[in-house]
Amino acid sequence: MQRHQLRVIAMAAALAALGLSACSGMTQREKNTAIGAGIGAVSGSVLTGGSTVGTVGGAVVGGVIGQEIKKP
């Protein structure tokens, strides 16, 4: 089971990196928000054992934190 979770996390990180590479027209604040939401979603999913509520909650919290980093 541990090996499966590690593969899922690695695939999610790779997909996030590929998805964000296509966002060249975004402002830095928008990029930070997207990155924070992605990291938060993966973290929330891992911490809650794959719970939908944990994944969505982590994405929301991560997005807010990402948006607030280096605010102008």
16-65 confidence digits (pLDDT tens)? 777 767 767 888 888 889 889 989 998 998 888 888 899 999 999 999 99
Q: How many residues does the chain have?
A: 72
Confidence of residue 72 (pLDDT cuts 50, 70, 90): low
pLDDT of residue 3: 76
Q: How far is CA 45 from the centre of its chain?
A: 10
Q: Are 37 and 62 in contact (CB under 8 A)?
A: yes
pLDDT of residue 1: 57
Measure the CA–CA gap between 2 and 38, rounded to whole angstroms: 21
Measure the CA–CA gap between 65 and 23, rounded to whole angstroms: 19
pLDDT of residue 20: 65
Residue 65 corresponds to which tokens in the numbers above? Answer: 């934190």
Tell me the per-residue pLDDT of 8-25, one tens digit each, with 9 for 90 and over: 888 888 877 777 677 678
SS3 67: helix
